[in-house]
Amino acid sequence: MGQGQQERVPTSLAGAVTEEIGAALAPVDAELERLYPGDPGTRQPVHTVYVPGDRFTAGTVREWGDQALAALDEHAPDAASFGAVLGLDGALAEDVYARVRAKLEREPVEDLRIDFEDGYGHRPDAEEDETAARAARLVAEASAHGTPATAAPWTGIRMKCMEAAVRDRGIRTLDIFLTGLTRAGGLPAGLVLTLPKVTYAEQVAAMARLLGAFEKTLGLEPGRIGFEIQIETSQSVLAADGTATVARMIRAADGRATGLHYGTFDYSACLGVPAAHQSADHPAADHAKAVMQVAAAGTGVRLSDGSTNVLPVGPTEQVHAAWRLHHGLVRRALARAYYQGWDMHPGHLPTRYAAVFAFYREGFEQAAARLARYAERAEGDVMDEPATAKALAGYLLRGLHCGALDDAEVSRASGLTRAELEAYASPRRGGLTVSAP
């Protein structure tokens, strides 16, 4: 056999069959790319802080950080006492405590939502108009001149829902807010909008149409404005005809849905769960969040858990009990791939960050070693596949994004650069070949 020639392996099908199948599946290929682009690979905030519109000020972010630090000073003034409350030992407790304090100084709030819904209630129109205009002005100023210590990287509003009784008011508040931002210099990169109490996919479609109208009127790039969908009604999980509705809502957003946020107490009350048992770990909550998770998988729409209404206030014993509860709920959510949640009080920040930091620090050495073996095609006690390599890289990146991990230690343990981690975490977006050998 001459150079460059290769003996053909016998086959039975004509090439035309493969071409016909490819042509038949071309629409499916295109739809998969459009509907399931995968996670964007960008940073996701670990929480969302909700502040009523009338209580939001230019100093809110810094005040939350200072109040959280004061809570630590009063109720857990050192790593040993904080670790004892949360079940963290030795070097891990020292590391986590130091990182929590540094985080509260450097970037106390990652995502801030100025609330015009339940936390704000019904006010005279003139009052809500002024509050929305003031919120736009303060957000614009923070975006232009703030630092992570004084302005959250992500900020926006939760408007009233699309139900008839409050629809016009919600649209007007959104109009005032977006108009104010635009006139003050443009929409900030970290703008986030939240649509609550969704019951029908048509309400999501209406929100998408509304935002398209804003973009056209304000001269913005089409698709610039996205929004989160709050899952806090039974109809948002199961429709009247018995079909699942979350995926339908994502599609109705026409590419604008950025997140699905679980509303713990509205959803629990909707199902008749007694007030004393309404919690993020109730079986009803787990069911709703499992449906959300499957519906959002691969779409690039991110998930957020809800909140706890048990506040860390009062005497130290009571604060410690609330901290243990919150810490446990956050750890539980992280293990279930809910990487974001709601925080309703400054006293929740220490345990939010403690749970997140411990989650990544406890597992990063093993995750980095597994990913290094995979990258080197080395033998080990676990045989990982491309999907697992993607998960390992994503885990390390999330730890880096929030400050639980440092670039140097992750690079040392994995042998990979940040760019290489990103390529493994988002293989469909180009970069390194991450298929199995």
Q: What does the pLDDT average to over 76-93?
A: 96
pLDDT at 8: 78
pLDDT at 14: 81
pLDDT at 367: 96
Q: What is the mean pLDDT of the chain?
A: 93
pLDDT at 12: 85
- Asked whether the predicted pLDDT for residue 376 surpasses 90, the reply is no
Q: What does the pLDDT average to over 8-20?
A: 86
**73-84: per-residue pLDDT in tens?**
999 999 999 999
pLDDT at 386: 84
- Asked whether the predicted pLDDT for residue 382 surpasses 70, the reply is no
**314-337: per-residue pLDDT in tens?**
999 999 999 999 999 999 999 999
Q: What does the pLDDT average to over 37-66?
A: 96
Residue at token pair 């729409």? 301
**103-136: per-residue pLDDT in tens?**
999 999 999 999 999 999 999 999 999 999 999 9
CATH number at 47-361: 3.20.20.60
pLDDT at 435: 33
Query: What are the extents of the domains in the chain?
Result: 47-361, 363-429
Q: pLDDT category, 378, cuts 50, 70, 90?
A: low
**231-283: per-residue pLDDT in tens?**
999 999 999 999 999 999 999 999 999 999 999 999 999 999 999 999 999 99
Residue 207 in tokens: 């929100």
Residue at token pair 């610039």? 224
**195-224: per-residue pLDDT in tens?**
999 999 999 999 999 999 999 999 999 999
Q: Which residue has the higher pLDDT, 44 or 431?
A: 44
With helix as H, strand as E and coil as C, how does the chain read? CCCCCCCCCCCCCCHHHHHHHHHHHHHHHHHHHHHCCCCCCCCCCCEEEEEEHHHCCCCHHHHHHHHHHHHHHHHCCCHHHHHHHHCCCHHHHHHHHHHHHHHHHHCCCCEEEEECCCCCCCCCHHHHHHHHHHHHHHHHHHHHHCCCCCCCCEEEEECCCCCCCCHHHHHHHHHHHHHHHHHCCCCCCCEEEEECCCCCHHHHHHHHHHHHHHHHHHCCCCCCCCEEEEECCHHHCECCCCCECHHHHHHHCCCCEEEEEECHHHHHHHCCCCHHHCCCCCHHHHHHHHHHHHHHCCCCCEEECCCCCCCCCCCHHHHHHHHHHHHHHHHHHHHCCCCCEEECCHHHHHHHHHHHHHHHHHHHHHHHHHHHHHHHCCCCCCCCCHHHHHHHHHHHHHHHHHCCCCHHHHHHHHCCCHHHHHHHHCHHHCCCCCCCC
- Asked whether the predicted pLDDT for residue 380 surpasses 60, the reply is no
Question: Global pTM?
Answer: 0.92
pLDDT at 432: 36
